[in-house]
Amino acid sequence: MIRAVLVRRGARPHARHAAAPIVLLSARKNRRLLLRLARELEREGWTTRRLSDAGWPRLRVFCPGAPVLGETVWLAYQGGRWWYRSSANLWLAPIEDPVRAAAGIVQVLGPRLVESRLR
């Protein structure tokens, strides 16, 4: 059964239907968390570059040996917590787990690297 909830303009939504408040991250904390991920990826031999030309910090991850292949990662909020999210639209891992996020990026880019070497 689908229930529609109508809310008058200017009325506050009922507590049951209100979204959880978003905890904002400062740009500085955002950069710090992306740097943790970058260090983890660089330990495994991947190349990273910080991007901030669009105003919000992002991390570009390049395949070793094939710098034209890469993935962009940023932080996004979902389900009451912050996550590392990739440009392939994957929710990699919560921000508390950069090791798992790095493994997710390797899992996404690894097959692309193999394909590029076969060509």
Residue-wise pLDDT for 2-44, tens only, equals 333 333 344 444 444 445 556 788 888 999 999 999 999 999 8
Instruction: Specify if 49 maps to a domain.
Output: yes
- Taking only the tens place, the pLDDT of each residue in 43-78 is 988 999 999 776 778 999 988 777 778 899 999 999
Instruction: Specify if 18 maps to a domain.
Output: no
Instruction: Specify if 95 maps to a domain.
Output: yes
Instruction: Specify if 80 maps to a domain.
Output: yes
Positive or negative CA dihedral for 31, 36, 39, 44? negative
Specify the pLDDT at position 20.
54
Instruction: Specify if 8 maps to a domain.
Output: no
Instruction: Specify if 20 maps to a domain.
Output: no
Say how many Å lie between the first and final Cα of the chain, rounded.
52
Q: Which domain covers residue 60, as residue numbers?
A: 27-118
Helices (H), 5-97: 27-43
Number of domains in the chain: 1
Instruction: Specify if 53 maps to a domain.
Output: yes
